[in-house]
Amino acid sequence: MTSQADAGDGPELLRLTALGPLKALFQAKRWSELEAAVGDVPVWAFDRPLPPRECRRFLAELFDPAVDLHVLVTAHRARGNQGGEVRSSFRCCVVWGEAGSWEEHEMELDLHLGSKPDGAGMFRVCYLGVSGR
Amino acid sequence: MSLPRLVFVTYFRLVPTTQIGVFKRCMRLIQHLVDDFEIHLVNFGPLPERDAMFSALRSRMKIWEFSEDLGNDIARMLDEVQPEAVIFGETPLRGSMRLAHRVAGMRGAWQICIDNYYGDYAGSFFPTEWPRIDRWMLLGLMADGRAGMSNGNVEIVPPLVRFPPGGAEGPRDRVAILGYDKQTLLMGALLLRRLPPGQLADIIVSPEWESLIGKQRGSLGRPGHRVMVLPKDEDLSRALSSARVVMGKAGYQQVVESVALGAPIVCQICGGGIDMGLIAPQMKPYVRFVADEKDLERVMFDVAGWLLDPPRLPWAGLGAQVPDPAAHAAGRLRELIAQRPAPSSTRRAAG
């Protein structure tokens, strides 16, 4: 199995990390499932810990009115592979439209993800962090 | 009887670096479609007025210009044109391209997107990420030297190079510098400075860099160097087919076209370009990236190897299989257009 530490900066990376499933749930605005997928791992948002309930409320508040929500991963930096845990930073651009108008919005941020192989060819999230750019 | 209509959506940029590849591939397809379709062109950015193929096609297309009220303008245009398909020259990631995709989706248009074949995963990656694009045509070189394949919604075709009729004239003994931008041209000069003075070279430039060649007499414009200013596609392909090594910009199209024509390439890293992560594994042995002169030093060993013992690339037989890839791709595109469901059953959302 190729680990994300071995992968380059390409779209291929998405299928090699835990980010892919989280991204799909986020784009579909399936907040409950996203919360379940993240589980009780530590989540940090802009240098503050974010309790799971808060995380869901935060996302819903910001993105419930959005249409065509999309996360573009524009760059990736593997940050080592320690004890089976792979750490990565993803430079992302979140793009979305406004319902009822042609307005479009973009937000650039960095996603920091720790994940471990689950033995079945998938990755399990160990921690998730979001920081601004 | 009026012709069926196609809307091509593309862009041309000069900043941070000249990006004309997406526009050019649309033109290469349009030249084979313009007799049978009424072509409507939506181009974001300036029009490349000096591009020879665009100049030849210009009078045969309706070119749309929009106001700042872009979403509504595109919606009105689609309502008026009622195209058979909206064809995006590249995946509509952001900005105006994305907005055009969103409007086309709201209008229920049949959407086809052209992008690069980055490797096997691309066939599932693109349709998953952009599910409202109905069909994909990916341009690239497959692992086994095959010309292409069709897989449901995704068609893979060779890059839209023009293979020289009858093959390259003369031996493969040159170096080609694709110096359309200053940074790559200057890196090309550094490369040539490291090669024997008698090395033959084709230096391909935009008109604005001709004067720069005069100032780089030590490395560009030596005897044995041929300067070509915005050459036609057939002259360009002849130059690449005669090259043992190409120095170009790290744009996907320059990379894949050089390799398709049998020449390994050294790429100048540039804003908005690609990196090794986007090179299909089968192409990696023939592609190197450089950011600066130190990087160039590191790749000179490979360059020397390519010059002394040119590798036989797996796609050497591609020209025999598909002599005119642009005509071939246009044919496949016609099939993707024809797969549009009958108008009564098209998805039409309110918008």
| Pair of tokens at residue B50 | 């000096």
Query: What is the DSSP secondary structure assignment for residue B301, as one 8-state letter?
Result: H
Mutate: best of B94, B269, B276, partner A, most A CBs <10 A: B94
Q: What is the pTM of this model?
A: 0.88
> Which of these, A89, A69, A78, A82, lies nearest to A129 by C-alpha position?
A89
Confidence tier at B44 by pLDDT (50, 70, 90): very high
How many Å apart are CA B133 and CA B289, to the nearest integer? 32
> Which of these, B64, B61, B83, B63, lies nearest to B7 by C-alpha position?
B83
The minimum CA-CA distance between B278 and chain A, rounded to whole Å, is 5
Residue A57's alpha-carbon distances to A29, A42, A53, A60, A61, in angstroms, are 12, 16, 6, 5, 6
Confidence tier at B52 by pLDDT (50, 70, 90): confident
Average pLDDT, integer, range B227-246: 91
So what's the ipTM on this one?
Answer: 0.80
Nearest beta carbon to residue A15 from set B93, B118, B121: B121
Tell me what percent of the residues of chain B surpass a pLDDT of 90: 67
How many Å apart are CA A123 and CA B11, to the nearest integer? 38
Residue B108's alpha-carbon distances to A44, B82, B96, B113, B133, in angstroms, are 40, 10, 18, 15, 11
How many Å apart are CA B133 and CA B144, to the nearest integer? 28
Q: How many alpha carbons fall within 13 Å on the CB side of residue B175?
A: 31
Confidence tier at B144 by pLDDT (50, 70, 90): confident
How many Å apart are CA B187 and CA B249, to the nearest integer? 10
User: Tell me, what's the pLDDT at B1?
Assistant: 63
> Which of these, B293, B275, B261, lies nearest to A10 by C-alpha position?
B275
Alpha helices in chain B (DSSP H): 21-30, 52-57, 70-81, 95-106, 122-129, 182-193, 210-215, 233-241, 252-260, 293-308, 318-321, 325-338
> Which of these, A69, A7, A3, A74, lies nearest to A34 by C-alpha position?
A69
Query: Could you tell me which chain B residue has the CA closest to the CA of A100?
Result: B351
Check whether A43 has a pLDDT greater than 60: yes
> What backbone torsions phi and psi does residue B254 show, to the nearest 5 degrees?
-65, -40
Q: Do A102 and B118 touch (CB under 8 A)?
A: no
Query: What is the DSSP secondary structure assignment for residue B164, as one 8-state letter?
Result: P
User: Tell me, what's the pLDDT at B288?
Assistant: 96
Average pLDDT, integer, range B42-57: 91
> Which of these, B145, B160, B193, lies nearest to B89 by C-alpha position?
B160
User: Tell me, what's the pLDDT at B167?
Assistant: 64
How many Å apart are CA B311 and CA B329, to the nearest integer? 27
Q: What is the pLDDT of residues B91-135, one digit of tens each?
A: 999 999 999 999 999 999 999 999 999 888 888 889 988 999 999
Query: What is the DSSP secondary structure assignment for residue A14, as one 8-state letter?
Result: G
Q: Do B125 and A11 touch (CB under 8 A)?
A: yes
How many Å apart are CA B286 and CA B313, to the nearest integer? 8
Check whether B256 has a pLDDT greater than 70: yes
> Using CB atoms and an 8 Å cut-off, which of residues 246-275 of chain B contact chain A?
275
How many Å apart are CA A122 and CA A120, to the nearest integer? 6
> Using CB atoms and an 8 Å cut-off, which of residues 46-105 of chain A contact chain B?
68, 70, 72, 76, 93, 95, 97, 101-102, 104
Tokens 């010309």 locate to B147
How many Å apart are CA A127 and CA A82, to the nearest integer? 14
Q: What is the pLDDT of residues A85-110, one digit of tens each?
A: 778 888 899 999 998 899 999 999 99
Residue A117's alpha-carbon distances to A84, A114, A126, in angstroms, are 7, 10, 10
Check whether B297 has a pLDDT greater than 90: yes
Average pLDDT, integer, range A68-91: 79
Check whether B330 has a pLDDT greater than 70: yes
